């Protein structure tokens, strides 16, 4: 069973992910159809970043996964027998 702290951390991660998904969805899907002078545009970065930021995040995620895999493989390798 998860403790109260684990549940709080899990719920905060879910809420953060939901907020991030909603922000990105409005930024990429809704904002292009809103007039450029509308006040809503002040709360979002320029549209170029909607491609750049997820690309950088994907590269960092793949880098972390590759590093983690390399560390695990390096720690679990068996030493060569010398006879």
The CA distance from 57 to 73, in Å, is 24
Structural contact between residues 23 and 50, judged by C-beta atoms closer than 8 angstroms: no
44 DSSP 8-state letter: S
Banded model confidence at residue 1, pLDDT cuts 50, 70, 90:
confident
Q: What is the pLDDT of residue 26?
A: 93
What global pTM score does this model have? 0.70
The CA distance from 19 to 37, in Å, is 24
Residue 35, SS3 per DSSP: coil
pLDDT tens by residue, 9-65 = 999 999 999 999 999 999 999 999 999 999 999 999 998 999 999 999 999 999 999
The CA distance from 21 to 76, in Å, is 37
């Amino acid at each position: 069973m998860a403790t109260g702290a684990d549940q709080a951390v899990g719920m905060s991660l879910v809420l953060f992910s939901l907020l991030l998904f909603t922000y990105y969805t409005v930024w990429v899907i809704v904002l292009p159809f809103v007039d450029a002078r509308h006040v809503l545009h002040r709360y979002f970065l320029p549209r170029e970043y909607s491609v750049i930021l997820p690309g950088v995040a994907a590269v960092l995620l793949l880098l972390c996964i590759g590093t983690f895999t390399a560390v695990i493989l390096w720690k679990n390798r068996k030493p060569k027998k010398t006879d």
